[in-house]
Structure 1
C-alpha cells in the first residue's frame, strides 16, 4: 500500500484533549458525574420550548449572522453587535482567534496549569505556547507572564477563574496587567466561569475595552446557562478584532437550535442566576468542609474545587469512582471536582475524609 499524504508537522505535536469521564454504574446505585464542570440543573422549560421551535426549521440553514443572539448580547453587555463573534463554544472562538492572529512560529503566553485546550489550540494554529507556572496558591503569576512577552508574542491568555485550580484575577490585577501587555499583543480574558465569581474586586474586562483596544473577552453559555450540549460561546472585542475572528469562523457554525436556546437563556437569566447562587453556596460548603478535613484547597471561584494531590491524583480518582462519582484527574498535579447535586457533593466529601484519614500518619 502506498504512503498517504502527510499532515503538517505541527499536527503530530497536538496533545490529545482528555474529556471528563462519565461515572461507571455500580450495583444499581445512583452515580454522579463531577468531571466536566457541567451545570447539574436541567434546562428551563422556556429554553427547551425555544429550542424545540427552532428544531422544527431544521431543514433551513441557521442565521449565519447570529442576528437575534448578537442583538440580545449587545443589549445585555452595552456593546455594539459589531464587537461580537460567536462560535461553537468558547473553545471554537479561541481556535478562530488564533487562526486570525497567529502566524507559524508566533508565541502565545498562558498560565499553566490552566485550561487543557490551550496547548491544543495553540499547536494546531502553528504557534508556540509559552507556559508560565502558576503561583503556589493556584493563581496566575501575572508579573511572570508579562516578563515572558517577547517580540514574537501575539496573544496572551488569562483564564479567570482559572480552570482547573479555581482562583480568579481581580479587577485591579487585570487592569495593571493590561497596561503592561503591549498594544500590538492581544490580551484574551477567558471568562467561562465568570457568573460564579464572588470575590472582592471582580474583574470586568468588557469595561476595559473602552480603554484598551487590545483586550478581548471570551464567554460561554455552557456553564452557568446550562447549554453545554449546544456549544455556544462568544467573543467581545474591538470591532476590528471581532471582524477578524468572524472572518475565520466556520460558516453557519452555531446551529439555529443553539442560537434560539442561548437567546432564551438570556431572557431567563434571573432564574438561571438564582441556580448559580445555589451552586455557589454548595461550592462554598464543599470547600469549607474540605478545609476542615485538613485539605489545602485554593480559592474556588468557579463551579469546581481543586485538590492538589500530586502523584496521588489517579489513586484518589479511583477511590471516588468506587464511591459512585467521576472526577477529573490531572496526573501528577491534582484532581478537579465539579460542584453537582448536594448528594453527589456529600459523596465527594466522604471520599475525601476517608482519603485524608488513611494518608495522615
Structure 2
C-alpha cells in the first residue's frame, strides 16, 4: 500500500515511540483538501505532545496511511497498522470509509477514534472499541433542516448520488421536515445540469441541496442553477460542507458564495482554539477548516488517555466514558447516544454558515445549534 512518510517521525526507527495509526484521504478520488487539513491538525497535536515531553517520556509517532476514499483500502490499512503495533487508530474524513475502518478495528480489537466522519451507523452493532469527536449526521442535519424552515424553504429538492451517506442524510431531512410542513424531492445527480434545472422549475422547489461529490458533479450543477434566470430565487445548500474549503471558491468564484453548509465550530474560539488556529494557519498557508481542529482534538484526547490509562489497547478502549479533555472547540466527553453505536462526543458546536457574496473569503454565521 502506498503511503506518505510519517510526518512526525520516520517509521520503524524509534522502538520506544508510541505509534498512532492515521487514516487520511490524501489522493483522489478522496477529498484531498479535507485530508490535508485533517493531517495538519493531527500532526500539529502530535508535535506539541512530543515538544512537551511525550507520553511518560516516550514520543508519539504518527503512522499515516492514505485511504483515497476507498473502504477496502482503509480496512487493509487497519490490518497493517494493527500488525505494526499501534496503540490506536485515528482520523478519516469520509463516512463510508470510516465505517469500513471501524468494522475492522472492532473485529481486531484496536481502538479507533474517528475524527471527522458523521454517519450515525458508523458500526452495525454497538462497540466499545470506537469513539468519535465529530457529531452524528442526524444531529447536524436536523439543525440544518431547522435553518431551512426558518428561512422559509419548505419545498426541498436534493440532487443526490448513490451512497449510504447521502441516503442517510436524505432520510434525516425528510423525517425532520415532513412533520413541520416540508417536503423532500430526490433528483438523480446523473441528470444533465439543464435537465436538473427543468425539474426544479417543474416542482417549484425553493431550495436545492447538493448531496453530491466535489468538484464533480457539484460545480457544474451550481453553475447551471446560478445561470438559470428561472431559478434566481432558489437557495442552493450543501450540508456536507463542500464550500468550506478554498478549492470550492477557486472553482466557482462568486457563484460559490451564498451556499449554506454545516461547520463544526463555536461562534468564538477560546484561548486554546485561537492558539491552535494560529499554528494551523501557519502550517496550511490559509485559514484552518473545522476539519483541522477535529484532527488536533483527536490527538489531544488520545494523548490524555495514554497518559492516564497506558498504551494497552483494551485499556484505551475502556477509557472512553472517563475522558474529560479541553479541546479547541470545548470540553470533550464521550457518552452513549440513542441510534449511535460508538462512544460519541455530544455535542461539538454546530453552525450553518456560508461564504459572504460581498466577500467570498469571509464566512457568515446564519444559524447555530
How does the TM-score come out when normalised to structure 2? 0.33
Q: 1 or 2, which has the higher strand percentage?
A: 2
- Highest RCO, 1 vs 2 (Cα 8 Å, sep ≥ 6): 1
